[in-house]
Structure 1
Amino acid sequence: MRSRFIPLFLAAALALPLGAALAQGTNVAFGGLKADTRLPVEVTAENLTVNQTDGTAIFSGDVLVKQGEMRMQAGEVRVEYDATGKAISRLLATGGVLVVNATDAAEAAAADYTIATGEVIMTGGVLMTQGQAAIKGERLVINLKTGTGRMEGGVTTTFTPGGD
C-alpha cells in the first residue's frame, strides 16, 4: 500500500521550483495534519504478536493505522498500552513511515506517536509535503491537536510563491 504514495511524493518534490530556502530549524503550520486524538485507533496488518509480560503488541506487514482522517502506514508498528492495559498510549512505527491527512503528508524512516499528547516525532530523512510545497529535514515534531510542528536538522524548504 505504501508504495502507491512514494511516486506521488517524488513527483511533487520534482515539480517544485529549484530555489530552496535553507534553515537549521523551522516552525511550520500543519493544519492538514491536525487530528482529533480522542477518536478510536484502528490498526490492520498481516501479522500480530502480543507480549502479555510487557504489555505490547507488534503489528507487522503492510501496517495501516487509522484515527479519524489521519492515516499512518509502516512496515512495523509496536503498540504500547497504558498502565491499565486497556488503552493505547504510544505507537512506534518503523520500516518506512507515511503519515497522511487532508492536504499534508510526511514520510520518514520512523515515527513515535504518543496518543495522549497528540505528538508525532518522525525521524530519518523526513519529507513533508503541503500541496505544492515541500520541506525536508532529519526530525519532524508534529502536534496533531494544534496542527503545528517543527522540522529540525539540515532543513531544506521548497515552495511556490503565492500568485494572485
Structure 2
Amino acid sequence: MLRLAAAPALLLMLAVPAAAQTRHDTAAPIDFGADHIELQDRANRAVLAGNVKVRQAEMTLTAQRMTVAYTGQVVDGNPQVSRLDASGGVTVVRPDQTARSQFGVYDLNRRVITMLGAVKLTQGGNTVNGGRLTINLDTGRAVIDGSSVAGGAAAGTGGVTQAPNGRVTGTFSVPRRN
C-alpha cells in the first residue's frame, strides 16, 4: 500500500472512474426516519432528531440530528426541500463510497454535499482523511481539503476538529502485479 500526506494547501481530488460513474438522481423523493420530528412551518423547516436516516435514490445519509429546510412552495402536495443540515456522526453512503464526518450539508439546488470535521472518505481499498469534503453529485468528484472552516473544540467552535496539522492523509491501494 502507498501512504500519502499532502501539503496543507493541496486539495486531493478523487474521481470515480468514468465507467463506474452514475449521476445521482437529486429529483428522487427523499424518504426519512427519525426518533423525533418537529415541524416548524412558519420557518419552513423540520428538525429530525435521534437516529436520523434519509434516503434518496441510491444514497443514504445518517446523523443524530438534521434540519430540513424547504422553500415554502408545494408541488403535487409536497413541500420542496432545498437543504439538509446534519450533525452528530454524519455518514453518507453511495454505491461506490462512504464518507463520515461531524457535520454535513446537502444543498439540493446545487447538488453538492459538504462535510466538515474529521472527514473520512472510503472508496474501495482507498481511504482519505481531511477537514472538509465536497461531493459534486452530478460529476461524482470528491474534493478533500486538509482544514475545515473552524478549529478545534478548545477554541469554542462547537467541537469541529481539523485534520492533524491541517493536512490531507490517506492510504491508496496498489493493484497486484506479476
Asked whether the two chains share a fold, i.e. TM above 0.5, the reply is: yes
Secondary structure at 1:19 match in 2? strand
Rg (Cα) greater in structure? 2
Q: Paired residue for 1:25?
A: 11
25, 41, 55: which one aligns with 1:52: 41
Q: Paired residue for 1:99?
A: 92
Structure 2: stretches of 5+ with no match in the other structure: 147-166
- Post-superposition offset of 1:28: 1.3
Kept in 1, the 8 Å contact 2:119–2:132? The answer is yes
Secondary structure at 2:42 match in 1? coil
- Post-superposition offset of 1:96: 1.0
The one-character-per-residue Cα deviations of 1:71-130 (angstroms, maximum 9, x if unpaired) are: 000000100001425210000000110000112100000100011221000000000000
Backbone CA RMSD of aligned residues: 1.8
Q: What code does the residue aligned with 2:15 have?
A: A
TM-score by length of structure 1 reads 0.83
- The total of aligned residue pairs comes to 148
Q: What code does the residue aligned with 1:54 have?
A: A
Q: Paired residue for 1:161?
A: 174
Runs of 4+ in 1 over 6 A off after TM superposition: none
- Post-superposition offset of 1:34: 4.8
Structure 1: stretches of 5+ with no match in the other structure: 1-16
Q: Paired residue for 1:62?
A: 51
Which structure would you say has the larger RCO, counting Cα contacts within 8 Å and 6 or more residues apart?
1
Kept in 2, the 8 Å contact 1:76–1:93? The answer is yes
Identity %: 32
- Post-superposition offset of 1:138: 0.2
Q: Which moved more, 1:30-39 or 1:110-119?
A: 30-39
Which runs of structure 2 are paired with 1:74-93 in the superposition (5 Å)? 74-84=63-73, 86-93=79-86
Separation in structure 1 between the aligned mates of residue 118 and residue 21 of structure 2, nearest angstrom:
21
Sort the Cα spacing of 1:33 and 1:63 in 2 relative to 1 into closer, same or farther, 3 A: farther
Q: What code does the residue aligned with 2:34 have?
A: A
TM-score by length of structure 2 reads 0.77
